[in-house]
Amino acid sequence: GQVFKLEDYRPSDFRIPATELTFDLAPERTLVTAELTIERQPGVAAKTPLVLDGDGLTLVSLAIDGEAAGAASFRATPDSLTLRSLPAARSFRLTIVTEIAPAENAALMGLYLSNSVYCTQCEAEGFRRITYFLDRPDVLSVYTVRIEADLKTAPLLLSNGNPGETGELNGGRHFAVWHDPFPKPSYLFALVAGDLATVSDSFETMEGRKVALGIHVEHGKQDRTTYAMDALKRSMKWDEERFGRAYDLDVFNIVAVSDFNMGAMENKGLNIFNDKYVLADPETATDTDFANIEAIIAHEYFHNWTGNRITCRDWFQLCLKEGLTVYRDQEFTADQRSRAVERIGDVRTLKGHQFPEDQGPLAHPVRPRRYREINNFYTATVYEKGAEVVRMIQALLGPDLFRAGMDLYFERHDGEAATVEEFVKVFEDAAGRDLSQFFLWYQQAGTPNVTAKARYDEGARVLAIDIEQSIPPTPGESRKKVMHIPLAFGLVGPDGSDMDWKAVDGASVENGVIHLRKRKHALRFSGVSERPRLSLNRGFSAPVTLSVEENRADRIFLARHDGDLFCRWQALNTLMVEVLIAAANLCRDGRPPDFPADLVALCGDIAADESLEPAFRALALTLPAEADIAREMGSNIDPDAILAARTLLAEAIGSAHAQAFAALYGALDSKAPFTPDSGSAGRRALRNIILDYLAVSSGEASLAARQYADASNMTDRAAALTVLATRHGESTDKAEAFADFERRYRTDALVLDKWFQIQAAAPGPAAVETVRALGEHPAFSLTNPNRLRALVGTFSTANQTGFHRADGEGYRFFAEIVLQVEKKNPQVAARLATALRSWRSLEPGRKALAREVLLRMSSAENLSADLRDIVDRTLA
Ligand code: B3K
Ligand code: ZN
């Protein structure tokens, strides 16, 4: 396949100032008429050919300035339309008619049918599956769209922008016209047509615009939109208050569809969502679902300014909209919920998804320099690390200058397709700062390692800290440049409060932040009255792997007393990881580990500490996931030993505090009706982690079985089911609960996904057979991405012992499925296949088996560009 390179960017020779589309919709044969106003850019010769992108298209007719084009004047293939003899005038009109079949579109890119609803997905390059176009983000056009469809099956007709004329047509058909006054790239085009129920509301912007809000869902699901609508209105308000950005059209529509390749899509004025991220009520959705809905509704809404009003010049700049918009949605959640809890959650996500990417064969910079398939670059690095980079800019400048920079960004680039350089420049200009070394965060892949060592001189009352950075090589980048790493810090005194200090070499220390700009720093702080504990990288100010040379007692102390809640969590988590790695090594040698009493005691104290919010206590008590332990081990991974160690530590903590935990479990039992607010969610999270400890230490299934039966909401019910699957896999209670769950929810797809998911995650060697059998279940489907991810995605990413079973059966099953999926939906198959990216860290036996299966995939016939790209890079 072709390799696209950042340095090859060239502006287009042509513009398309106006695009008029007419859709004559039918499942098997939809006619698309595109009337394009084409304009040659100044200085471009009249003989320069116009090459439009296509993907699998059938051309029906072509006219230039209203005249049918002669066969000799153009060349149409499914993948391009080339016009060689064009009118001499700078501007002319092209009329292109193409024919497409939405019902046959299983890739879910372009125009497709989901549950009899026509919908589109055009990012990144799906518009070219609808009509020939300059399908690139720097070609902005004003769209007018006319949709014609059957009145009966498609009473609702939506597109971007504001609604225009509507009316009836012959033959039971009708039409609607939409006009979007904001020039936009083709990837933001959207169309929806179908029979959906509409929930309406309204929002008045700070500029006095009254916006009609609509959420469109399957009939009967209207009651499940309350939370999404509320989240939307809160997002609109927050963007006004925090960033001064108001909504700009008369309508804002959200459509929920059940077949969707990812979470949601920010099409101008018409966001299309995976219904999983819209529909929620207490009976069917968990607290996690509610939180995801809030975050994704906000994320897509915030794209209206960061992504739509200012879009990307090319796809290498993807983080310009994604990293920034993730940063914005994280800040929104932090403001709506608990800032510390949100930060810990975001860092867990970053470490769980982005660190392994950065440390493996798929590592790439936040702004990649080359790609073969752009859809494979919607990654944790672009999104989550991209957000961390924006967060660091905010921390470097402080809130006021950061806001000034954002204001300048909107002022300078509104209506444009911008670059990352232009984004960083607004902050340099607003703050009068040089961010050239900082810019390496966009250019260099890999997670920096930072090591720190502190020495206290009692006589001189001086603390010396030696800090060093190093960045491991990543594919295509063997030598790394020294980065600018901002580390927020504090010196914690014996009473737990922060101590005073004075930086001897002030140049690297500013407002409580150590700025690493060299490979090594020897820092000295004077006036330090007693030996402090070093609290470093507070709030996770930089996305690095940090190792501080300190003893267990120091870590325990910080976990108990650090004034920065993130660092408290981090200290405890680091302790747990260390202990678990040591225990896993013993387990592998068949020797019984034993766990330090101070750590076990600390867990009991945190559980009981009423001064800490329950959500924080729940996070602190959550043991590092098996995959986290594996990542920290780095090499020679044996997932069975890791699971054994983790289970034993849970047992040790649970039995040490059995009585106190049982009391806490009872005390947290709420009889109040369910509300999805973060306080209540936090109490449920704490109670459910306590349930897990009680279950693993007692071995009694009855408690979880009772919670399952008595649950008044899905959070508690799914948590009980998870405990039954994880801790009581052989019990009849477990079997009965799963049978009951299936009976109750067999007609509710989103809930049934949880049934597949919880079983797919249950650890142990039998998981492969369980998952294989579920793959034969009548409700399983290879074509519905949610169902596929619930079973196969969960198995391959959240079931270490099952997926990595020592005989390779997990890999073989997985490869079979991926190869079947990729025939229909290459994008989803390629995403699934990334589950093998850390294969080189496995112990030799599993490593060889994983490699075998990757080679098998690589040699499969007619591999899609999507899967080929992932498999080749993973093996490289
Ligand atoms: N921009 C979309 C993602 C599109 C993915 C295309 N493969 C959703 C989002 O990030 O908001
Ligand atoms: Zn996004």
C-alpha distances out from residue 190 to 111, 126, 318, 684, Å: 9, 11, 19, 39
Q: How many residues does the chain have?
A: 876
Non-local CB neighbours of 326 within 8 Å, separated by 6+ positions: 299, 383, 384, 386, 387
Cα 201 to Cα 219: distance, rounded to the nearest angstrom: 17
Answer whether 373 contacts ligand 1 (Cβ < 6 A).
Answer: no
- Ligand 1 atom nearest 266 alpha carbon: 11
Find the catalytic residue in 20, 123, 294, 300.
300
Reported as type and span, the H/E element at residue 605 is helix 597-608
Structure token digits, residue 492: 């914690």
Asked if 253 contacts 297 with a C-beta cutoff of 8 angstroms, the reply is no
Cα 31 to Cα 101: distance, rounded to the nearest angstrom: 9
Asked if 482 contacts 517 with a C-beta cutoff of 8 angstroms, the reply is yes
pLDDT, residue 506, reads 81
Query: Does 746-876 match 311-443 at the fold level?
Result: no
Catalytic: 421?
no
Report how far ligand 1's centroid is from the alpha carbon of 154 (Å): 26
Structure token digits, residue 290: 């509610």
- Answer yes or no: is the ipTM higher than 0.95: yes
Report how far ligand 2's centroid is from the alpha carbon of 331 (Å): 14
Report how far ligand 2's centroid is from the alpha carbon of 412 (Å): 22
SS3 403: helix
Best residue among 119, 187, 262 to mutate for probing ligand 1, ranked by most atoms within 8 Å of CB: 262
Report how far ligand 1's centroid is from the alpha carbon of 189 (Å): 13
Best residue among 109, 188, 266 to mutate for probing ligand 1, ranked by most atoms within 8 Å of CB: 266
How do the domains of the chain map onto residue ranges? Answer: 1-195, 311-443, 449-542, 746-876
Asked if 602 contacts 572 with a C-beta cutoff of 8 angstroms, the reply is yes
pLDDT, residue 169, reads 98
CATH of domain 1-195: 2.60.40.1730
506-534 pLDDT, tens digit per residue, is 889 999 999 999 999 999 999 999 999 99
SS3 254: strand
pLDDT, residue 6, reads 98
Residue with CA closest to ligand 1 atom 1: 265
What is the gyration radius of the CA atoms in the chain, in angstroms? 28
Cα 260 to Cα 274: distance, rounded to the nearest angstrom: 5
Report how far ligand 1's centroid is from the alpha carbon of 835 (Å): 20
**Amino acid identity at 619:** L
Buried/exposed code over 242-262 (b: 16+ C-beta within 10 A; e: otherwise): bbebbbbbebbbbbbbbbbbb
Answer whether 265 contacts ligand 1 (Cβ < 6 A).
Answer: yes
Cα 308 to Cα 245: distance, rounded to the nearest angstrom: 13
- Ligand 1 atom nearest 827 alpha carbon: 7
- Ligand 1 atom nearest 123 alpha carbon: 6
Answer whether 577 contacts ligand 1 (Cβ < 6 A).
Answer: no
Give the homologous superfamily in CATH for domain 746-876.
Peptidase M1, alanyl aminopeptidase, C-terminal domain (1.25.50.10)
Answer whether 123 contacts ligand 1 (Cβ < 6 A).
Answer: yes
Dihedral pair phi/psi, residue 319, rounded to 5°: -65, -20
Report how far ligand 1's centroid is from the alpha carbon of 123 (Å): 7
Residue with CA closest to ligand 1 atom 4: 123
Stretches in the chain below the pLDDT threshold 50: none
Using alpha carbons only, give the angle 452, 456, 458 rounded to the nearest 5 degrees: 175
Answer whether 378 contacts ligand 1 (Cβ < 6 A).
Answer: yes
Nearest to 601 by CA among 565, 636, 575: 575
Asked if 159 contacts 190 with a C-beta cutoff of 8 angstroms, the reply is yes
Non-local CB neighbours of 638 within 8 Å, separated by 6+ positions: 584, 588, 843, 846
Q: Could you count the other beta carbons within 10 Å of the beta carbon of residue 525? A: 23
Buried/exposed code over 487-509 (b: 16+ C-beta within 10 A; e: otherwise): bbbbbbbeeeebbebeeeeeebb
pTM for the complete prediction? 0.99
pLDDT, residue 299, reads 99
Non-local CB neighbours of 789 within 8 Å, separated by 6+ positions: 828, 832
CATH of domain 449-542: 2.60.40.1840
Buried/exposed code over 548-570 (b: 16+ C-beta within 10 A; e: otherwise): bebeeebbbbbbebbebbbbbbb
- Ligand 1 atom nearest 383 alpha carbon: 10
Best residue among 55, 268, 322, 831 to mutate for probing ligand 1, ranked by most atoms within 8 Å of CB: 322
pLDDT, residue 726, reads 98
Sheet holding 449-457, edge to edge: 502-503, 520-526, 462-470, 449-457, 545-549
pLDDT, residue 536, reads 98
Answer whether 375 contacts ligand 1 (Cβ < 6 A).
Answer: yes
Say if strands 251-257 and 270-274 run parallel, antiparallel, or are unpaired: parallel
Nearest to 537 by CA among 548, 526, 552: 548
**Ligand lying closest to the C-alpha of residue 263:** 1
Report how far ligand 1's centroid is from the alpha carbon of 67 (Å): 38
Cα 653 to Cα 660: distance, rounded to the nearest angstrom: 11
**Ligand lying closest to the C-alpha of residue 137:** 1
Asked if 397 contacts 429 with a C-beta cutoff of 8 angstroms, the reply is no
SS3 219: coil
Answer whether 299 contacts ligand 1 (Cβ < 6 A).
Answer: yes
Report how far ligand 2's centroid is from the alpha carbon of 219 (Å): 28
Best residue among 123, 325, 328 to mutate for probing ligand 1, ranked by most atoms within 8 Å of CB: 123
Report how far ligand 2's centroid is from the alpha carbon of 301 (Å): 9
Cα 336 to Cα 831: distance, rounded to the nearest angstrom: 31
Answer whether 382 contacts ligand 1 (Cβ < 6 A).
Answer: no
Asked if 235 contacts 203 with a C-beta cutoff of 8 angstroms, the reply is no
Cα 181 to Cα 33: distance, rounded to the nearest angstrom: 20
Answer whether 124 contacts ligand 1 (Cβ < 6 A).
Answer: yes
C-alpha distances out from residue 83 to 555, 710, 734, Å: 68, 68, 65
Range 311-443: architecture per CATH:
Orthogonal Bundle (1.10)
Answer whether 866 contacts ligand 1 (Cβ < 6 A).
Answer: no
Dihedral pair phi/psi, residue 387, rounded to 5°: -70, -35
